[in-house]
Chains A and B, each alone.
Chain A
């Protein structure tokens, strides 16, 4: 069983550092410029969190250590869990899920198990609005459900009457994002929850956009049974060029016993991990959770505190509306109801809606040292630009971004834009060719 050959490069330490440092210079990041990638977005990640998370007392802790030897981090987890419960109106959280999508999977598995144990095993449909993130239908399908698409109303919001019409004895529940991906608060959210509950289903809150509601409204008060949160977007944890994230999942008292294990417990002898929840769907991650990410979220909550968190949602919503109103409405018409306020983000179309025009705007703004909005999402908006500036961006940066988009459009219109992007480390990348790969690795 001895290995016969091993093909790894032979390089000096300095060569390796030069290589990766050079690569890092070919990468945009939030500390280099504005990153208003709607729905995903990057806000500033406080340096102090990096400093604390890099301590040996965090990095060197092994997940199988006896609880008595990790009271420090366990007490932080406990306080983080209490804070997330208060922020969302849930009874208990499991911090174990490694990303938002895994939190979603946990949530729909909890729905499945709860129903199976309460005579609802035949319910195999999950309602998902047409404006939802792709992870929602994908998570529902992974948990064995059929996805029933709920069309949004003309105003971009889900109507309780439509939900009633689509609910039946087959309905297991609904996954609902509030505010939705159009940046709109779902005005009938309470009625939608009531309708699904009346049909015998459970309500799942996709907390991707909870950053808009901190200290303002809580999914628990709206009628949701299960919640997940994306810690990077609401609680300023880094995103590592695609990950790691963390996606804690919370539940009301009725569903708390179904959470994925472990959960943190506090007893007479201190804090511990509890693997014994009676109805748990089981573990989804090998060891505990993305602990170093959870720690950063806790630090952020401690830095802001009760009123600071409310200020975060205020400033995020103010920035989103301000940037949106600074755009030329002729060039970038609002996706829905221009008269309605937005929450964390705004979605506009590129006027004329010529195929490819949103992509051109996106590539052109890269040339100006700013990141593009999310493009072509949500799917129900043609030539969509989805813009989420976050509370981190100062007014003058928002002005600059709006001005950039407006002038790009003007140049597109009069034909002077030219090929874009031209200032990036490579020109426009051929993604069509990339989708027919002959190789997914390099040989040397």
Chain B
């Protein structure tokens, strides 16, 4: 701290006069002395080998120039899905999530000065419960995959059983994360096959695999192929008869038209809230949805829960607070339901405002627009030589698998990208090396779909 003043916009006390005064009160002679408790053997005796800092302007220019190398909409067309999807984020949602009161606050530990976040999260929980047909939804988890991992762990705790059945048509990202999450619990995974023609779960195979040691079935609806599991009610009663629980993974925007998991008997619903007003953000932050049907199960849930209460001195007024905290790590430590501390609150606020903005009618009409666009696109692609679209016969929502008679999916994927169209992420592990996944939503115009078709014609 020798030499001239060098105050920095982020470091208000970096000034010889300030530092001098402050050191006197602390009783240290120099700033170096403040670190005299670090033993010499572990002190870093050299400057960090990093570039020196830049001005706000210089950094902004450098980082923006690098980001511009990304190929993204509107210059590039994106028809990718698989668990993150291109949807429109209304300006009003961005306005709300850009409020610094929301984004520069911490977890609402002091309820009296955090009623804004607490009430917004409570509204999120309520809206999600309605959308999912569930009774208790937590304040969010990291993303769909980790929510699925937590759900399967919870089922292990609740049932004491150790086998998990996974649909063979769930997303590979969820499969991978579930495996990582349950490995230490000694739980095992078994895959339920899917019907090669429809893309739906094979209920005969499910029957064969159900047994007394099965804790739950995890399946997705719509599944990874975009196909709607319209036999979900039969599937859940089959699973329940064997004493196991049902965990359903959903794309919340599909629930504008498709029956909600609570209505077909799911015990736990998880899903990806990203379509509800959250940008794709190259992988995150997104929104892990986690909800249970039976409020009694809430006590075994991971994550923050917001509840309704009153001020101590005014029983007539509403107030909000974090509840059932005895489940959580900061109280229960090694006995906690999960180690989750930070969640995705800001994203939950985005989802709450998104659903409030669209409303019942707007949300349903959005679903109709999506399904009309995706079916139009699937049909358009089917007119291309060497292309089977959709590959599966089952009814689909916004995604569908396309297969190529002669071309490899990897090469089609690369060739489309070179033409400025991001589409057809390979589904080789699930379907075969000559098929890819396509996603069409409300953001795609007829011209966009025509451009996709033209590019695919050249790519196959």
Contact = CB atoms under 8 A, between A and B. Distances in A.
B283 A289 contact: yes
A189 B40 CA distance: 12
A329 interface: no
A340 B37 CA distance: 8
B183 to A, nearest CB: 8
Given A187-B37, A283-B180, A99 B28 contact: no
In the complex, which range does the number of interface residues on chain B fall in?
35 or more
A248 to B, nearest CB: 13
Given A215-B48, A240-B345, A137 B105 contact: no
A58 B319 contact: no
Contacts of A189: 39, 42
In the complex, which range does the number of interface residues on chain A fall in?
35 or more
B341 interface: yes
Contacts of B339: 101-102, 104-105, 135, 138-139, 141-142
B83 A287 contact: yes
B67 interface: yes
Interface stretch (B126-134, B210-218, B374-382, B445-453): B126-134
B282 A242 contact: no
Contacts of B110: 28, 362-363, 366, 371-372
Contacts of B14: 311, 315
Contacts of A214: 48
Given A17-B95, A40-B106, A281-B180, A395 B13 contact: yes
B220 interface: no
A3 B259 contact: yes
B238 interface: no
Contacts of A215: 44, 47-48
A312 to B, nearest CB: 7
B263 A4 contact: yes
A441 interface: yes
A63 B84 contact: yes
A241 B120 CA distance: 10
A25 interface: yes
A326 B7 CA distance: 23
A41 B107 CA distance: 10
A134 B336 contact: yes
Contacts, number: 642
Interface string A276-301: 00000111111111111101001101
A4 B363 CA distance: 14
Nearest to B142: A98
A49 to B, nearest CB: 9
Interface string A231-252: 0000010111111110100000
Contacts of B454: none
Interface in B338-352: 338-347, 349
Contacts of B323: 434-435, 437, 440
A287 B84 contact: yes
Contacts of A87: 48, 50
Interface in A172-189: 184-185, 187, 189
Contacts of B322: 434
B115 A242 contact: no
A216 B43 contact: yes
Contact of A303 (B56, B310, B321): B56
B114 interface: yes
30 contacts: A1-B395, A6-B364, A8-B358, A20-B120, A21-B99, A26-B116, A48-B59, A76-B67, A221-B44, A241-B107, A241-B108, A241-B120, A242-B107, A242-B121, A243-B142, A243-B342, A283-B173, A284-B177, A286-B145, A309-B48, A309-B50, A314-B34, A318-B34, A366-B112, A392-B12, A426-B111, A427-B311, A429-B112, A440-B295, A441-B126
Listed from nearest, the 4 A-B pairs whose CB atoms lie closest are A240-B346, A305-B53, A27-B116, A288-B283
Given A133-B341, A238-B104, A241-B120, 9 more contacts: A8-B360, A27-B102, A28-B105, A59-B281, A99-B343, A315-B13, A363-B112, A371-B110, A431-B321
